[in-house]
Chain A
Amino acid sequence: MAKRGKILIITLCALLLVFSVAGCNKTGKKTDGTNFVGGPDGLVMSFVPNYPPGKIILTSTNEPISIIVEVKNKGTYPPQGDKFSNGAIHLSGFDTSIISITSSKSIPEMDLPAVSNINPGGTDIAQFDGNINSNSIVVDNYNPTILVTACYPYVTKAVSTVCIDPEPFDTKREKVCSTGNQNLPNQGAPIAVTRIEQESARGKIYFKIAIKNVGRGDVLWGTADGVAVVNRCNPNQGTKLERKEFDRVKLKKVKMGDSDRTTNCAPFIDGTPNRIGLFNGEGFVICSYDVPSTVQSAYTTPIDIELEYVYRSTISMPIQIKSLG
């Protein structure tokens, strides 16, 4: 009996020790500002609980309804001090003769600074107020699904280091770097540069830049102001988005050191000089770099890639509108 008691006490002590160690580890963890790595999101939306409520019982002719969406910028765009140049959040999915509500909110009016080492990203709310016209609900139960669609321009900036080796096949010389492939972490944007593959020839290096839609929405062709496509993102507008407007990303810049290589990249689609097509959410572009003849030994240089696009993401919530007659 005494032996059993001892075992019990030892087990309890061991458990306490495990918990305290785990706890210490968690509280003792410090965030290193320099180790900031972005996630796969741009703007992330969520419904504020009870706005709208899951069930609305009509008590008056014009029952008020509020839909509040919390918007977080979990990405690294726009640059510090800037605001979104364009973009909107739209409501849809319901019969507009029943729910009269302001169906769009402008994103530039919201305070959504990007994530940085010192800022966890901006959070703002989009509030839509309106009325349910109970006279228009001719049935006892009306069950629409409220869709909230955000459409906004975004920019992905990926920076890495590549090796420029004028003699890639000379393995006898000691070099500071060697050409090779590298995987990149997410860049705090829904479109990410996932990998840079290097292929060297004498006096020329090819970079295959792989990009991927790592977010939860659709990518659309558009520039940073993105006016045209953002306006047509409005589900209530009546103009359809064409298939060929989806899965297109603009290669805005590829820079190696001081040399802009954007014009040395291919392939592009739709007969454009900068439009990368995504297939199943993935695409690539190959850029070349002519190694100057004056370069005698290998060296590392930063590669700076910028992609521009319009991103569309949607959240939904089914609601039940009941009339007690």
Chain B
Amino acid sequence: MNKKIILITGILLLLAITGCNKFGKGGQTPISDADLRKGMDGLKMEFLSNAPPEKVFAESGFPISLKLKNAGASDVEDGSGIVVFGFEKAYVNVPQERVSFSVKGKSVYAPLGEDEFITINARTGAIGTQSEEHPSSIFATACYPYKTVLGASVCVDPDITGQRRGQKACTVKDLAFTEGQGAPVSVTKVEARILPQDNGRIKPHFLIHVKNAGNGEVIDLGKVESVCTSEALNYKDFNTLVVKASLSGVALKCNANEESESVTVRLRDKEDLIRCTYEKDDGIDSGVDAYAAPLKVELDYGYTFTISKSIIIEKVLTH
């Protein structure tokens, strides 16, 4: 009977040890497996708790603190990001309405992105003699340049009709990207086509679907500063982004009329579609076998969004 108990205990112990070993390894992801270009966030911004406080006394100072987190995969560099504060000027006085910032995005060394804090000291003014308190709001609007980069391996298969015998390295197919690229504007789908040419060559052709999946507005890259000031804006300054694509490092032609490598597109209902074609050397030799080639799509734009917090300005009652 005792032997049985010892045997069972031994087996259980063995199981427990092997189990522990297994669990110990769980959850570890190799550094290189961290997918940085994932998600639909760019810059995230929030007021720190009690800055501003929910209730502030009239004619007194109070802090406004913002936490900026770059949860995307691009950097906001060289002070190119701007935060502008909005408030009721009759009741709140902010000495510095506009603050520039830089914050790095996700990288292998900071896989969650980096943080930046902005703190300013504001001051409330007097409220009406008939009022004991006055509700107000503090707004913070961020304007920043950002970039979406999609990298994918696409198949270049000159055998369009599938007549060639034998195993192929890959097949041409549409690619869907549902998880974003670590930026508020994302490439949601790439439709791949191979266009046959008369000269025995083929031209890879791509239909690139883009979408503003973030909670803000896309703005023209050149108007980032203007949007965060009181400058007049044109409707064309919104929903405008610049698209650039390359296959195997060769720039694709994304605009039928212009020779430029990049094309400016306007989002309609937050979405658009761009057509890009491989034009170098009149295409690729149709005699080669299917192979995987790197497709890179870059979207350059400005982005803006606003957050707010309500405060109550209370009068200091002396009686």
- List A residues at the B interface (Cβ < 8 Å): 55, 57, 92-98, 136-147, 149, 217-218, 235-241, 243, 246, 312, 314, 316, 322, 324-325
- Cβ-defined partner of B287 (8 Å) among A144, A218, A239, A314: A239
**Main SS class of interface, A:** loop
A62 to chain B, nearest CB (A): 15
Q: B290 contacts the other chain (Cβ, under 8 Å)?
A: yes
Residues of B within 8 A of A97 (CB): 248-249
Residues of B within 8 A of A217 (CB): 166
The answer on a CB contact under 8 Å between B170 and A93 is yes
Given A139-B296, A144-B169; 18 other pairs, CB 8 A cutoff: A92-B289, A93-B169, A94-B169, A98-B294, A136-B249, A138-B294, A139-B152, A139-B153, A139-B295, A144-B292, A149-B166, A217-B166, A237-B287, A238-B285, A239-B287, A243-B163, A316-B167, A325-B107
Residues of B within 8 A of A314 (CB): 166-167
Q: B236 contacts the other chain (Cβ, under 8 Å)?
A: no
A138 to B32, CA, bound (A): 17
In the complex with contacts A93-B291, A144-B292, A324-B108, A139-B169 CB distance below 8 A: no
A79 to B107, CA, bound (A): 60
A211 to B29, CA, bound (A): 53
Q: B164 contacts the other chain (Cβ, under 8 Å)?
A: yes
In the complex with contacts A142-B153, A144-B153, A322-B32 CB distance below 8 A: yes
Q: B288 contacts the other chain (Cβ, under 8 Å)?
A: yes
B146 to chain A, nearest CB (A): 17
3 pairs of A and B residues whose beta carbons are closest in the complex? A139-B151, A93-B169, A238-B287
A164 to chain B, nearest CB (A): 40
The answer on a CB contact under 8 Å between B293 and A95 is yes
**Main SS class of interface, B:** loop
Q: B36 contacts the other chain (Cβ, under 8 Å)?
A: yes
- Within 146-175 of B, Cβ neighbours of A (below 8 Å) are at 151-153, 163-170
A217 to B166, CA, bound (A): 8
A93 to B283, CA, bound (A): 18
Q: B123 contacts the other chain (Cβ, under 8 Å)?
A: no
* 7 pairs, CB–CB < 8 Å, chain A vs chain B: A93-B292, A98-B248, A139-B153, A139-B294, A217-B166, A238-B285, A324-B31
- Cβ-defined partner of A92 (8 Å) among B37, B164, B169, B248: B169
Residues of A within 8 A of B163 (CB): 243
Residues of A within 8 A of B296 (CB): 138-139
B161 to chain A, nearest CB (A): 11
A142 to B294, CA, bound (A): 6
B11 to chain A, nearest CB (A): 17
Residues of A within 8 A of B287 (CB): 237-240
A140 to B151, CA, bound (A): 6
The answer on a CB contact under 8 Å between A236 and B292 is no
The answer on a CB contact under 8 Å between B32 and A57 is yes
B110 to chain A, nearest CB (A): 12
A323 to B294, CA, bound (A): 13
A4 to B107, CA, bound (A): 66
Q: B239 contacts the other chain (Cβ, under 8 Å)?
A: no
Residues of B within 8 A of A94 (CB): 169, 291-292
A136 to B247, CA, bound (A): 10
The answer on a CB contact under 8 Å between B166 and A143 is no
The answer on a CB contact under 8 Å between A241 and B294 is no
A312 to B288, CA, bound (A): 17
The answer on a CB contact under 8 Å between A238 and B169 is no
The answer on a CB contact under 8 Å between B166 and A312 is yes
B156 to chain A, nearest CB (A): 8
Smallest CB gap from B163: residue in A: A243
The answer on a CB contact under 8 Å between B32 and A145 is no
A192 to B168, CA, bound (A): 26
The answer on a CB contact under 8 Å between B169 and A147 is yes
Q: B246 contacts the other chain (Cβ, under 8 Å)?
A: yes
- Cβ-defined partner of B32 (8 Å) among A137, A139, A235, A324: A324
